Structure 1
Amino acid sequence: MGLHPKYMPRLEGGTANPTVATLVAASMAYKVPLRELFPGLDAEGSGK
């Protein structure tokens, strides 16, 4: 993905502030739809 190895735990733990490009790259690397990186959010993004 081209990210520093020390960044990955922060990204996976939710403490990083990734760009949209980083999120897209992660979804492609993990071969999952981008929406799967945000469990708990509904289609409108409210999380309810």
Structure 2
Amino acid sequence: MEERIHITGFSQGGYMSWRFICKYSDVLASAGPLAYGAVRYNLAREACDL
């Protein structure tokens, strides 16, 4: 059976979820960071290959 990994987080957990998404996107089935305010505007572009 194939394993499916889902991740979510709220506030600081949303931040860590986003970081996990960027680093381990190849193993995730779904993700949903909530109420996450970027520390820096370009964090997503710097952390992920978007």
Question: Smaller-chain TM-score range?
Answer: under 0.3
TM-score (norm 2): 0.25
Which structure features the higher share of strand residues? 2
